[in-house]
Amino acid sequence: MNTMLPFLNPIVCLKTLFGELKLISYMRKKDDDLFVKRQPFLMMKSNRISTLWLSLFFSISAYSQALPMENKVYLSNIKTVLLYSSVSDFSYPIIHLNSTEHLDLSFDELIPTNENYFYTLILCNSEWVPVALQPNEYLQGNAYEQILNYSFSIGTYQKYVHYSASFPTENMNVKYAGNYILKVYRDYNLDNIVLTQRCFILNTKTAIRSKVRQASNIDLRYTNQEVDVEVDASDAVIPSPFTDAKLTILQNGRFDNAVSKLTPKYINGNNFNYDYEEGNLFFGGNEFRAFDIRNIRSVGQNVSNKTIDTAIHIQLRSDEARGSQQHLSLTDYNGKFMIANSTGGSANLLDYCYVTFTLNSFSSKPLEEMYVLGSFNNWQPSDACEMKYNEARKVYQCTMLLKQGYFNYGYFYLNNEMIFENSDTEGNHYETENDYYIFFYQKNYTYNFDELIGYQKANSGTVERR
């Protein structure tokens, strides 16, 4: 019998399965003779139930694979994950296809012994959903590499093992440009995931021009920035640009507020114009707060107090909310962080510190969900970075374990619409200096994925006023 598997939503499969099981149970309780007489009917039901179990399995698998993959650390003792191009420690993880450039990955595990770690790459579409291809269809050479570079911490209060790797290697490379997930796992087991990180492989076929302006919308003119883009696709062949070309814009490397899947507003020959008034808007935000713990022997920028017992404890100066303050131009690194010490020692010589953040109360009613965020925690709210309200002191506080370095950060909270924002804690100003990363994708018709064929990094340092 040719049984078709219904690839349904897992909830639908479960409801149908429970209905079939309930019917059989009812028949058995109702009349044992009837149960025996209806054996052919029950055999058919049994086959259907088996089919539903298989459908449930494949539906859950397909449903989970359809979810976007993200920057994520799966183990609590994995710290300080860095992925950047070989240009500099502050660079974004993007390299050119078939070039001498490479991506550098590093992370620490807070245990005194080393583990067997491996990594692979997963090709995704522009929305970071894995494509329906086997690894040998988009990877050259090996499907994975072992991480062989590791070193033990030396002279630190916190013991750890530092791991590092570079991609591509002589044994593994990618065939196509696009979005990739770098996945680290343990002991040859792909399901034993340690961390995942997003990165980009670029094959330039376009020229991108952009301008960061004060918002055209008069109601948002003093709080928002508008990123207008024009793409020259003369060297690319895009038969259906309104469906097969996609534009994504990231502010300061953040994915949580990304503008994605933008289609051209209009097309003039091979020039695609994305000069919108609303679809390409970002809150301006504010210049980032910062602290410096590169030197644990002295008090660095924004550090109030330092103590050492069995560990290093850093108390930062109390911060004030800036939502009602005027914009003040300050030099920052747009949310980035740098791991280093004051003497320039290697990564395994740097120590970890328990850093306490304090934000003074700014409203009559305490906010329930407040977080300290930056690129150091992938801009992702979690229990580790949640600010707890201290009723006695009227402050929000949080203590995090961070490696020596220089950090940018900001305070974000969950508003009434269940969206994270920082209007009251940081403020929004059109004058704020921000980085914008612009990605242009073309559909690959052969393998049905989004190929990255254009990229530009823009800055709002000279934002154009309306």
Query: In this predicted model, what pLDDT tens digit does every residue of 385-424 receive, in sequence order?
Result: 999 999 999 999 999 999 999 999 999 998 877 788 999 9
Domain of residue 31 covers: 10-65
Last residue of a domain, one of 178, 202, 226: 202
Q: How far apart are CA 298 and CA 134, in angstroms?
A: 53
Co-location of 293 and 417 in the same domain: yes
| Tokens matching residue 466 | 């309306």
Q: How far apart are CA 92 and CA 409, in angstroms?
A: 18
What is the rounded average pLDDT of the residues 361-366? 86
Co-location of 22 and 60 in the same domain: yes
Co-location of 229 and 314 in the same domain: no
Determine the pLDDT at residue 288.
Answer: 98
**CB-CB contact of 314 with 306 (8 Å):** yes
Q: How far apart are CA 247 and CA 227, in angstroms?
A: 12
| Tokens matching residue 55 | 């459908």
Co-location of 278 and 336 in the same domain: no
Is residue 112 in a domain?
Answer: yes
Is residue 451 in a domain?
Answer: yes
Q: Of 99, 100, 134, whose CA–CA distance to 120 is shortest? A: 134
Q: How far apart are CA 209 and CA 456, in angstroms?
A: 8
CATH number of the domain that 315 lies in?
2.60.40
| Tokens matching residue 58 | 């494949």
Q: Is the pLDDT of residue 464 over 90?
A: no
Q: How far apart are CA 332 and CA 432, in angstroms?
A: 11
Q: Is the pLDDT of residue 258 over 60?
A: yes
Report how many domains make up the chain.
Answer: 4
Q: Of 418, 432, 417, whose CA–CA distance to 325 is shortest? A: 432
Q: How far apart are CA 143 and CA 156, in angstroms?
A: 36
Q: Of 185, 182, 215, 211, whose CA–CA distance to 197 is shortest? A: 182
Determine the pLDDT at residue 12.
Answer: 46
Determine the pLDDT at residue 345.
Answer: 78
Residue 303 host element (H or E):
strand 303-308
Q: How far apart are CA 303 and CA 168, in angstroms?
A: 40
Q: Is the pLDDT of residue 48 over 70?
A: no
Q: How far apart are CA 107 and CA 378, in angstroms?
A: 14
Q: How far apart are CA 371 and CA 358, in angstroms?
A: 11
Co-location of 275 and 299 in the same domain: no
Question: 318 or 63: which carries more pLDDT confidence?
Answer: 318
pLDDT tens for 58-86 read 444 444 457 899 999 999 999 999 999 98
Last residue of a domain, one of 154, 174, 202: 202
Q: Could you check whether the bond before residue 40 is cis, i.e. omega within 30 degrees of 0? A: no
Question: 31 or 424: which carries more pLDDT confidence?
Answer: 424
Residue by residue, DSSP assigns 80-147 as EEEEEETT-TTS-SEEETTSS--EEEEEEESSSS---EEEEEEEE-TTSPBPS--HHHHEEE-S-EE-
Co-location of 79 and 197 in the same domain: yes
Q: Which residue has the tokens 């704020």?
A: 432
Co-location of 445 and 343 in the same domain: no
Sequence letter at residue 253: G
Is residue 465 in a domain?
Answer: no
Give the global pTM.
0.85
Q: Of 452, 448, 436, 449, whose CA–CA distance to 97 is shortest? A: 452
Torsion of CA 43, 46, 51, 55, to 10 degrees: 160
pLDDT tens for 259-295 read 998 999 999 999 999 999 888 999 999 999 999 999 9
Question: 466 or 77: which carries more pLDDT confidence?
Answer: 77
